[in-house]
Amino acid sequence: MLAASAVQQAGPAGAAAEWEDGDGDGDGQLCVVCVDAPKQYGCLHAGTVHLCLCRDCSELFAAGKPCPMCREPIVAVVKVF
C-alpha cells in the first residue's frame, strides 16, 4: 500500500475567518469575542442586528460601543433566541 502522502489539513490560520456557511452547527455559532460560548446576543444598530455575542460578552458591550463585527455604534444589545 502506498502511504498517504503528507497532506495536512490547513487549519484555520489564526486570521479572522468569515463564518457565513449557514450550516447552523459549526464554529460559526460561537461568540466572536471569546469563541468559547454560543452566540445568544446581538448588537442592534442602524436597523440591523449582528448576532455575535455570548451572555458573558454581551455584558461588555452596550449602547455607544462599536459592534465587534462591523464597528458601527451599537444602539442596543438584544437577546436572540
Distance (Å, rounded) from C-alpha 63 to C-alpha 45?
9
463564518: which residue's cell? 19
Is residue 39 a contact residue for Zn ion (CB under 5 A)? no
> Closer CB to Zn ion, residue 28 or residue 72?
72
Of 17, 46, 70, 76, the residue at the interface with Zn ion (CB under 5 A) is 70
Is residue 31 a contact residue for Zn ion (CB under 5 A)? yes
Is residue 62 a contact residue for Zn ion (CB under 5 A)? no
> Closer CB to Zn ion, residue 23 or residue 48?
48
Size of the site for Zn ion (CB under 5 A): 10
Q: Which residues of this chain interact with Zn ion, rule CB under 5 A?
A: 31, 33-34, 50, 54, 57, 67, 69-70, 72
